[in-house]
Amino acid sequence: MTWVEVIALGIIQGLTEFLPVSSSGHLVLLEKVFQATGNNLLFDIVLHAGTLIAVIAVFYKEIWELIRHPFSKKMGLLLLATVPIVLFSVFAGKFIGSAFEGDYLGFSFILTGIFLLTADAVGKRANRPLKSISWLDSLVMGVMQAVAVLPGVSRSGSAITGGIWRRLDKVAAAKYAFLMSIPAILGAIIKGILDIKDMPQDATGLSVGLMVLGAAFAAVFGFIAIKGMLKLLEKRRFWGFSLYVFVLGGLIIADQFVFHIVFATAPF
Protein backbone atom coordinates (compact mmCIF):
# COMPACT_ATOMS: atom_id res chain seq x y z
CA MET A 1 0.00 0.00 0.00
CA THR A 2 1.07 3.57 -0.67
CA TRP A 3 1.00 6.34 1.93
CA VAL A 4 -2.20 7.68 0.34
CA GLU A 5 -3.90 4.31 0.80
CA VAL A 6 -2.59 4.04 4.37
CA ILE A 7 -4.01 7.47 5.26
CA ALA A 8 -7.34 6.61 3.58
CA LEU A 9 -7.62 3.37 5.56
CA GLY A 10 -6.69 5.17 8.79
CA ILE A 11 -9.37 7.80 8.24
CA ILE A 12 -11.97 5.20 7.32
CA GLN A 13 -11.11 3.06 10.37
CA GLY A 14 -11.28 6.04 12.72
CA LEU A 15 -14.60 7.34 11.43
CA THR A 16 -16.42 4.07 10.86
CA GLU A 17 -15.37 2.40 14.13
CA PHE A 18 -17.68 4.77 16.01
CA LEU A 19 -20.16 5.88 13.37
CA PRO A 20 -22.83 3.19 12.84
CA VAL A 21 -21.63 2.07 9.41
CA SER A 22 -19.08 -0.74 10.16
CA SER A 23 -15.34 -0.13 10.16
CA SER A 24 -14.46 -3.73 9.29
CA GLY A 25 -16.89 -3.68 6.37
CA HIS A 26 -15.34 -0.53 4.94
CA LEU A 27 -11.81 -1.85 5.40
CA VAL A 28 -12.66 -5.10 3.61
CA LEU A 29 -14.28 -3.09 0.80
CA LEU A 30 -11.35 -0.67 0.48
CA GLU A 31 -8.83 -3.51 0.45
CA LYS A 32 -10.81 -4.97 -2.47
CA VAL A 33 -10.87 -1.58 -4.24
CA PHE A 34 -7.14 -1.00 -3.68
CA GLN A 35 -6.45 -4.65 -4.51
CA ALA A 36 -4.28 -4.88 -1.41
CA THR A 37 -2.33 -8.12 -1.38
CA GLY A 38 -0.49 -10.00 1.32
CA ASN A 39 -1.28 -10.39 5.00
CA ASN A 40 -2.47 -7.06 6.44
CA LEU A 41 -3.05 -8.38 9.96
CA LEU A 42 -0.32 -6.26 11.54
CA PHE A 43 -1.68 -3.11 9.91
CA ASP A 44 -5.20 -3.97 11.12
CA ILE A 45 -3.83 -4.29 14.67
CA VAL A 46 -2.16 -0.88 14.39
CA LEU A 47 -5.38 0.72 13.12
CA HIS A 48 -7.33 -0.79 16.01
CA ALA A 49 -4.72 0.59 18.41
CA GLY A 50 -5.37 4.03 16.93
CA THR A 51 -9.10 3.81 17.56
CA LEU A 52 -8.42 2.53 21.08
CA ILE A 53 -6.40 5.69 21.74
CA ALA A 54 -9.37 7.74 20.51
CA VAL A 55 -11.92 6.17 22.86
CA ILE A 56 -9.52 6.41 25.80
CA ALA A 57 -8.98 10.11 25.04
CA VAL A 58 -12.72 10.80 25.13
CA PHE A 59 -13.64 8.66 28.14
CA TYR A 60 -10.46 8.92 30.22
CA LYS A 61 -12.39 10.02 33.33
CA GLU A 62 -14.76 7.05 33.17
CA ILE A 63 -11.88 4.69 32.43
CA TRP A 64 -9.88 6.00 35.38
CA GLU A 65 -12.87 5.40 37.66
CA LEU A 66 -13.13 1.83 36.38
CA ILE A 67 -9.42 1.29 37.05
CA ARG A 68 -9.78 2.71 40.55
CA HIS A 69 -12.78 0.47 41.25
CA PRO A 70 -12.11 -2.80 39.39
CA PHE A 71 -14.79 -4.70 41.32
CA SER A 72 -17.56 -2.14 40.77
CA LYS A 73 -20.93 -3.02 39.28
CA LYS A 74 -20.11 -1.03 36.13
CA MET A 75 -16.93 -3.02 35.55
CA GLY A 76 -18.86 -6.25 36.02
CA LEU A 77 -21.50 -5.16 33.52
CA LEU A 78 -18.85 -4.24 30.93
CA LEU A 79 -17.19 -7.63 31.37
CA LEU A 80 -20.58 -9.33 30.99
CA ALA A 81 -21.17 -7.41 27.75
CA THR A 82 -17.87 -8.77 26.42
CA VAL A 83 -18.74 -12.45 26.98
CA PRO A 84 -20.96 -12.89 23.87
CA ILE A 85 -18.33 -11.53 21.46
CA VAL A 86 -15.68 -13.82 22.99
CA LEU A 87 -17.92 -16.89 22.66
CA PHE A 88 -18.95 -16.00 19.11
CA SER A 89 -15.33 -15.45 18.07
CA VAL A 90 -14.29 -18.80 19.54
CA PHE A 91 -17.11 -20.98 18.24
CA ALA A 92 -17.72 -19.29 14.87
CA GLY A 93 -14.10 -18.59 13.95
CA LYS A 94 -14.17 -20.33 10.57
CA PHE A 95 -17.38 -18.60 9.50
CA ILE A 96 -16.02 -15.22 10.59
CA GLY A 97 -12.83 -15.87 8.62
CA SER A 98 -14.81 -16.60 5.46
CA ALA A 99 -16.93 -13.49 6.03
CA PHE A 100 -13.77 -11.36 5.88
CA GLU A 101 -13.37 -12.51 2.28
CA GLY A 102 -16.33 -10.22 1.58
CA ASP A 103 -18.88 -12.86 0.55
CA TYR A 104 -21.63 -11.52 2.83
CA LEU A 105 -20.53 -7.89 2.85
CA GLY A 106 -23.49 -6.36 1.04
CA PHE A 107 -26.05 -8.30 3.06
CA SER A 108 -24.29 -7.36 6.30
CA PHE A 109 -24.46 -3.65 5.46
CA ILE A 110 -28.19 -4.04 4.80
CA LEU A 111 -28.61 -5.79 8.17
CA THR A 112 -26.96 -2.76 9.81
CA GLY A 113 -29.50 -0.53 8.07
CA ILE A 114 -32.36 -2.63 9.41
CA PHE A 115 -30.96 -2.40 12.95
CA LEU A 116 -30.72 1.38 12.69
CA LEU A 117 -34.28 1.71 11.39
CA THR A 118 -35.58 -0.28 14.36
CA ALA A 119 -33.55 1.98 16.67
CA ASP A 120 -35.30 5.01 15.16
CA ALA A 121 -38.69 3.34 15.57
CA VAL A 122 -38.11 2.55 19.25
CA GLY A 123 -35.98 5.60 20.05
CA LYS A 124 -38.89 7.98 20.67
CA ARG A 125 -39.90 5.89 23.68
CA ALA A 126 -36.36 5.28 24.96
CA ASN A 127 -35.51 7.60 27.86
CA ARG A 128 -33.72 5.60 30.53
CA PRO A 129 -30.46 7.18 31.80
CA LEU A 130 -27.08 5.46 31.78
CA LYS A 131 -27.09 4.97 35.55
CA SER A 132 -30.14 2.70 35.25
CA ILE A 133 -28.36 0.10 33.11
CA SER A 134 -28.89 -3.48 34.27
CA TRP A 135 -27.25 -6.85 33.65
CA LEU A 136 -29.92 -7.68 31.06
CA ASP A 137 -29.32 -4.39 29.21
CA SER A 138 -25.61 -5.12 29.16
CA LEU A 139 -26.12 -8.69 27.95
CA VAL A 140 -28.46 -7.62 25.13
CA MET A 141 -26.00 -4.97 23.98
CA GLY A 142 -23.20 -7.54 24.24
CA VAL A 143 -25.07 -10.01 22.02
CA MET A 144 -25.66 -7.26 19.46
CA GLN A 145 -21.99 -6.35 19.59
CA ALA A 146 -21.10 -10.00 18.97
CA VAL A 147 -23.19 -10.07 15.78
CA ALA A 148 -21.06 -7.16 14.56
CA VAL A 149 -17.97 -9.36 14.41
CA LEU A 150 -19.14 -9.88 10.83
CA PRO A 151 -17.72 -7.20 8.50
CA GLY A 152 -20.50 -4.91 7.32
CA VAL A 153 -22.45 -5.15 10.58
CA SER A 154 -21.66 -2.05 12.60
CA ARG A 155 -20.36 -2.73 16.11
CA SER A 156 -21.36 0.67 17.46
CA GLY A 157 -24.66 0.71 15.56
CA SER A 158 -25.63 -2.79 16.73
CA ALA A 159 -24.69 -2.15 20.37
CA ILE A 160 -26.50 1.21 20.43
CA THR A 161 -29.55 -0.43 18.85
CA GLY A 162 -29.53 -3.09 21.57
CA GLY A 163 -29.47 -0.38 24.22
CA ILE A 164 -32.33 1.50 22.60
CA TRP A 165 -34.34 -1.73 22.36
CA ARG A 166 -33.94 -1.86 26.14
CA ARG A 167 -35.28 1.73 26.28
CA LEU A 168 -31.97 3.39 27.11
CA ASP A 169 -31.73 6.99 25.94
CA LYS A 170 -29.86 7.25 22.61
CA VAL A 171 -26.92 9.18 24.06
CA ALA A 172 -26.74 6.87 27.08
CA ALA A 173 -26.76 3.81 24.81
CA ALA A 174 -24.03 5.36 22.65
CA LYS A 175 -21.79 6.20 25.62
CA TYR A 176 -22.12 2.68 26.98
CA ALA A 177 -21.52 1.17 23.52
CA PHE A 178 -18.31 3.19 23.20
CA LEU A 179 -17.14 2.02 26.63
CA MET A 180 -17.97 -1.55 25.55
CA SER A 181 -15.70 -1.05 22.55
CA ILE A 182 -12.62 -0.87 24.80
CA PRO A 183 -12.50 -4.57 25.78
CA ALA A 184 -13.71 -5.51 22.30
CA ILE A 185 -10.90 -3.58 20.58
CA LEU A 186 -8.37 -4.82 23.14
CA GLY A 187 -9.51 -8.37 22.45
CA ALA A 188 -9.09 -7.86 18.70
CA ILE A 189 -5.58 -6.51 19.24
CA ILE A 190 -4.58 -9.38 21.54
CA LYS A 191 -6.01 -11.98 19.14
CA GLY A 192 -4.16 -10.34 16.28
CA ILE A 193 -0.89 -10.37 18.20
CA LEU A 194 -1.34 -14.08 18.98
CA ASP A 195 -2.11 -14.81 15.33
CA ILE A 196 0.79 -12.75 14.03
CA LYS A 197 3.48 -14.91 15.65
CA ASP A 198 3.23 -17.34 12.73
CA MET A 199 3.68 -14.62 10.11
CA PRO A 200 7.00 -13.84 8.42
CA GLN A 201 8.39 -10.52 9.61
CA ASP A 202 7.95 -8.78 6.29
CA ALA A 203 4.44 -10.11 5.61
CA THR A 204 2.73 -6.70 5.66
CA GLY A 205 5.13 -4.96 3.29
CA LEU A 206 4.63 -1.73 5.29
CA SER A 207 7.28 0.32 7.02
CA VAL A 208 6.97 1.36 10.67
CA GLY A 209 6.47 4.94 9.54
CA LEU A 210 3.48 4.05 7.36
CA MET A 211 1.88 2.01 10.15
CA VAL A 212 2.32 4.88 12.63
CA LEU A 213 0.82 7.23 10.05
CA GLY A 214 -2.24 5.01 9.69
CA ALA A 215 -2.66 4.71 13.46
CA ALA A 216 -2.38 8.48 13.91
CA PHE A 217 -5.12 9.18 11.39
CA ALA A 218 -7.30 6.43 12.91
CA ALA A 219 -6.87 8.01 16.37
CA VAL A 220 -7.63 11.59 15.26
CA PHE A 221 -10.65 10.71 13.16
CA GLY A 222 -11.88 8.24 15.77
CA PHE A 223 -11.86 11.06 18.34
CA ILE A 224 -13.80 13.28 15.93
CA ALA A 225 -16.30 10.49 15.22
CA ILE A 226 -17.03 9.81 18.90
CA LYS A 227 -17.51 13.48 19.73
CA GLY A 228 -19.60 14.05 16.63
CA MET A 229 -21.76 10.98 17.20
CA LEU A 230 -22.60 11.93 20.78
CA LYS A 231 -23.50 15.45 19.67
CA LEU A 232 -25.52 14.21 16.72
CA LEU A 233 -27.63 11.82 18.80
CA GLU A 234 -28.82 14.62 21.06
CA LYS A 235 -31.12 15.86 18.28
CA ARG A 236 -30.84 13.59 15.25
CA ARG A 237 -31.96 10.12 14.28
CA PHE A 238 -30.30 7.24 12.41
CA TRP A 239 -32.15 7.37 9.10
CA GLY A 240 -29.24 9.04 7.26
CA PHE A 241 -26.83 6.30 8.31
CA SER A 242 -29.36 3.59 7.47
CA LEU A 243 -29.89 5.06 3.99
CA TYR A 244 -26.13 5.10 3.43
CA VAL A 245 -25.58 1.45 4.36
CA PHE A 246 -28.65 0.34 2.40
CA VAL A 247 -27.28 2.02 -0.75
CA LEU A 248 -23.74 0.75 -0.14
CA GLY A 249 -24.96 -2.79 0.52
CA GLY A 250 -27.12 -2.73 -2.60
CA LEU A 251 -24.21 -1.54 -4.76
CA ILE A 252 -21.94 -4.27 -3.39
CA ILE A 253 -24.53 -6.98 -4.05
CA ALA A 254 -25.07 -5.64 -7.57
CA ASP A 255 -21.33 -5.71 -8.23
CA GLN A 256 -20.89 -9.19 -6.78
CA PHE A 257 -23.66 -10.74 -8.87
CA VAL A 258 -23.80 -8.56 -12.00
CA PHE A 259 -21.07 -6.01 -12.71
CA HIS A 260 -17.90 -7.54 -11.20
CA ILE A 261 -15.99 -4.26 -11.09
CA VAL A 262 -14.56 -4.74 -7.60
CA PHE A 263 -15.63 -8.32 -6.86
CA ALA A 264 -14.45 -10.67 -9.58
CA THR A 265 -16.92 -13.47 -8.83
CA ALA A 266 -20.27 -13.98 -7.17
CA PRO A 267 -19.96 -15.03 -3.51
CA PHE A 268 -22.10 -18.17 -3.88
How do residues 131-148 score in pLDDT, each as one tens digit?
999 999 999 999 999 999
pLDDT of the residue at 202:
46
The C-alpha atoms of residue 103 and residue 179 are separated, in whole angstroms, by: 30
CB atoms within 10 A of CB 33: 12
Q: How far is it between the farthest Cα atoms of the chain?
A: 56
The C-alpha atoms of residue 116 and residue 246 are separated, in whole angstroms, by: 11
Query: Do residues 149 and 195 touch, judged by C-beta distance below 8 A?
Result: no
Whether this prediction's pTM lies above 0.85 is answered by: yes
pLDDT of the residue at 115:
97
Q: Give residue limits of the domains in the chain.
A: 3-259
The C-alpha atoms of residue 146 and residue 194 are separated, in whole angstroms, by: 20
DSSP letter string, 153-204: S-HHHHHHHHHHHTTB-HHHHHHHHHHHHHHHHHHHHHHHHHHHTTS-TTSS
Q: What's the pLDDT tens digit per position in 66-85?
A: 999 999 999 999 999 999 99
**Is pLDDT of 30 > 90?**
no
Mean pLDDT score, 182-211 = 76
